[in-house]
Amino acid sequence: MEQIEAIVIGAGPAGLMAASSLAAAGAKVVVVDSKPSVGRKFLMAGKSGLNLTKDEPIEEFLKVYGDARAWLEPMLRDFGPVQVQKWAQGLEQEVFTGSSGRVFPKAMKASPLLRNWMGELGHKGVEVRTRWRWQGWRRDALQFDTPDGERLISAKVTVLALGGASWSRLGSDGAWAEFLGVSLAPFKPANMGFLREWSKFMEPHFGAPVKPVKLTVGDLSVKGEFVLTARGIEGGAVYSISAALRDGGNLTLDLLPDMPLDDVITKLNRHRGKNSLTNHLRKVLGLKGVKAALLREVGSLPVTNTDLAKRIKSLPLRLSGPVPMDEAISTAGGVRQVAVTDTLMLKDRDGVFCAGEMLDWEAPTGGYLLTACLATGKRAGEGAAAYLKA
């Protein structure tokens, strides 16, 4: 059995940040990952523009974590939007803030940042082993499947940063839930699309962006855009309200979010002449294409202009549930706050810490996910370093 000082299992952003913190404290660190290379989900996140964090006051920033806010607050105050930007700059990644406050590296991609980060870890003496799959414990030893067969490791401290349970092909398959030996909050999809069986009239609009549009679920409203797909709806604005929808809410759409109801009624009341209703809607309201199709898709049109205006401003769109969890951007559920100490050490396993998406919190997209992964990774790494010294 190999004896090592500190091991980090899972080489995503949370695990790599934990390794950085441990190495900075002088620990000898080994990072292992089941995949042939590190940071696969992080690299995928960079494919559509790596949104590292959100440039907004910390009080605003904290709000999005909902029930997990109080738990994450000390970690996010220590390593929040400001620190994430400085950290990226420290890895020679210039960052910029988009109009919505979202912060991206100028390169947009994750690969240059990851390359520099791995270089820095290498300089600090961190060793990386890929294709090492953790399979649980055998007594107190960590058990791995490796290209050379089974290996056992005894580590003074362990940081688990195994990710959530989506995009399993990138490594985060949630299989660890079977052998962690801790009662977990059930995994749920987060930041995902929703399914709907469309009528054949919608087919020409598959792939079309619906914008601008306001989506409302209960008392949550978001203005933005989404995409109509062959099996439902996808995209940024849908993700923002996805937790509320997942938890039983109903979706209504405001197809003309910039026009008050009274104005819609006034315009509909304009003389229609020989125009068909389709032409009238297009001419007086600019309602056409996918929006006009959505208006007809949910049922026969109301007869009076007032009721039609109300339908346009509050269109009920029934959905048949989220896409499969593996397709979600992230997952809720995992290791509960009650199972860990303030430094994210498992209360039932001394010297074993947890970080990242495997912890039971969720947040919308917008940089909130990566920031919390990095913040919890730092806290777990520092906790593990302090444990080594105690």
Ligand X SMILES: Cc1cc2nc3c(=O)[nH]c(=O)nc-3n(C[C@H](O)[C@H](O)[C@H](O)COP(=O)(O)OP(=O)(O)OC[C@H]3O[C@@H](n4cnc5c(N)ncnc54)[C@H](O)[C@@H]3O)c2cc1C
Residue 81 binds ligand X, judged by CB under 6 A: no
Piece of the chain touching ligand X by CB under 6 A; list 10-18, 19-27, 215-223, 276-284: 10-18
Over the window 145 to 184, marking each residue x when it contacts ligand X by CB under 6 A and - when it does not, the resulting string is ----------------xxx---x---xx--xx--------
Binding-site size for ligand X (CB under 6 A) equals: 38
With H, G, I as helix, E, B as strand and everything else as coil, classify residue 215: strand
Spatial separation of the C-alpha atoms in residues 79 and 90, rounded to whole Å: 14
Angle between helices 305-313 and 261-268 (to 10 degrees): 140
Residue 188 binds ligand X, judged by CB under 6 A: no
> Which DSSP string do the residues of 63-102 spell out, in sequence order?
HTTGGGHHHHHHHHHHSSHHHHHHHHHHTT--EEE-TTSE
- C-alpha torsion 88→174→328→7, nearest 10: 0
Cβ contact 260:277 at 8 Å: no
The secondary structure element, H or E, covering residue 150 is: strand 149-160
Residue 30 binds ligand X, judged by CB under 6 A: no
Nearer to ligand X, 64 or 259 (CB): 64
With H, G, I as helix, E, B as strand and everything else as coil, classify residue 373: helix
Give which of 289, 238, 233, 284 is closest to 259, Cα–Cα.
Answer: 284
In this structure, the strands spanning 141-146 and 149-160 are antiparallel
Residue 41 binds ligand X, judged by CB under 6 A: yes
Binding to ligand X, residues 322-341 (CB under 6 A)? 329-330
Q: In this chain, which of 15, 105, 364, 383 binds ligand X, going by CB under 6 A?
A: 15
Nearer to ligand X, 171 or 232 (CB): 171
Spatial separation of the C-alpha atoms in residues 298 and 305, rounded to whole Å: 17
Binding to ligand X, residues 194-233 (CB under 6 A)? none
To ligand X, the closest distance from the beta carbon of 207 in angstroms equals 18
What residues form DSSP beta bridges with 3? 154
Nearer to ligand X, 162 or 308 (CB): 162
Piece of the chain touching ligand X by CB under 6 A; list 58-66, 76-84, 317-325, 361-369: 361-369
Nearer to ligand X, 44 or 317 (CB): 44
Nearer to ligand X, 34 or 216 (CB): 34
Site residues, ligand X (CB under 6 A): 9-15, 32-35, 40-42, 44-45, 48, 50-51, 133-134, 161-163, 167, 171-172, 175-176, 329-330, 356-357, 365, 367, 369-370, 373
